[in-house]
Amino acid sequence: MNFLISGGTGFVGKHLCQSLQVKGHHTYILTRSPLDYMNTKATTYIHYDYPIEELPPIEGVINLAGESLLGYWSQKKKEKMKSSRLETTDALIQVMKQMKIKPNVFISGSAVGYYGTSEDLIFTEATTSPGKDFLAEVVVEWEQVAKQAEALGIRTIYTRFGLILGKEGSLPFMSLPVKLFAGGRIGNGEQWMSWIHIEDVVRLIDYCLFNRQMEGAVNVTAPYPLRNKDFMRTLASVLKRPYWFTTPSPLIHAAIGEMGQLITKGQYVLPQKALDQGFEFKYPELVKALEELTNYS
């Protein structure tokens, strides 16, 4: 089968493309710089203005593109975080409108930021009231643009990603102070961290592609979130380092501004839809996930 993917050269995209290719599928990766990459028998890099009529029938379109959340959230950064998501999603909607044979499924990346933050509420896909902060506003608009695919008769899924753990991404950043013997909780440590191993991210996206029961919002998180204090204690234990240092929340916000809410606040998100459909996580608990990623046994 053929799949059209935006963001295919990013952290999640690279892992997903490799998985699809191993299974014998062909991936067409949308990029603004296709000449920077080399095509293979299983991968073709194309520009966003590639003639749609020259594509073969596409089974599914997957949107993983967007400006990184990491970095100081200046007004310019926030505008780019929002516009990159809305514009790329809209571009894919226009591409699908032009396709004579519509794809069977459209998976649009989203985020657990939809729910806002809380230390005591539990969020599932049945939660329909979004948060009120900047990230929640972005996600609501993002999903609204993606929703246009439904009017085209395409099964549409909004994969609300939690904290993705891999040898890339945020885990190396989080592990650094621990490795330097300065690991510990952040703030009061009570904020929830809804995490997931990158391998389970790919497996769940693959599950969504081929399971027609999966549609609408899908929480891409492991079934056992942890509070920050317990997450960091587990990380310190796996890395065989002490757990004793506390990083005050004001220090985080002073250093990285509004982005600090990703670290000092959180939400307890359950992947209820995946669990109800019988999806089995390879890494449901944090310790095994971290042991695999950090090569400790």
Positive or negative, the CA dihedral 114, 109, 70, 248 is positive
Confidence band (pLDDT; 50, 70, 90) for 279?
very high
Task: Identify residue 115 by its one-letter amino acid code.
Answer: Y
Where is average pLDDT lowest: 20-29, 169-178, 219-228? Answer: 169-178
Residue ranges of E strands in the chain: 2-6, 26-30, 43-46, 60-63, 105-111, 122-123, 155-161, 163-165, 192-193, 195-197, 216-220, 226-227, 268-269
Phi–psi pair at 62, nearest 5 degrees: -125, 125
CATH number of domain containing 253: 3.40.50.720
Q: What pTM, to 2 d.p., does this model score?
A: 0.95
pLDDT tens readout for residues 124-155: 999 999 999 999 999 999 999 999 999 999 99
d(CA 203, CA 164): 13
Q: Pick from 174, 146, 201: which is nearest to 14 by CA?
A: 201
> What kind and span of H or E run contains 165?
strand 163-165
d(CA 283, CA 116): 25
Confidence band (pLDDT; 50, 70, 90) for 119?
very high
Where is average pLDDT lowest: 182-191, 207-216, 270-279? Answer: 182-191
Domain range for residue 73?
A: 2-294
Confidence band (pLDDT; 50, 70, 90) for 296?
very low
Determine how β-strand 192-193 pairs with β-strand 226-227: antiparallel
Domain count, the chain: 1
Instruction: Name the β-bridge partners of 269.
Output: 123
pLDDT at 208 over 90: yes
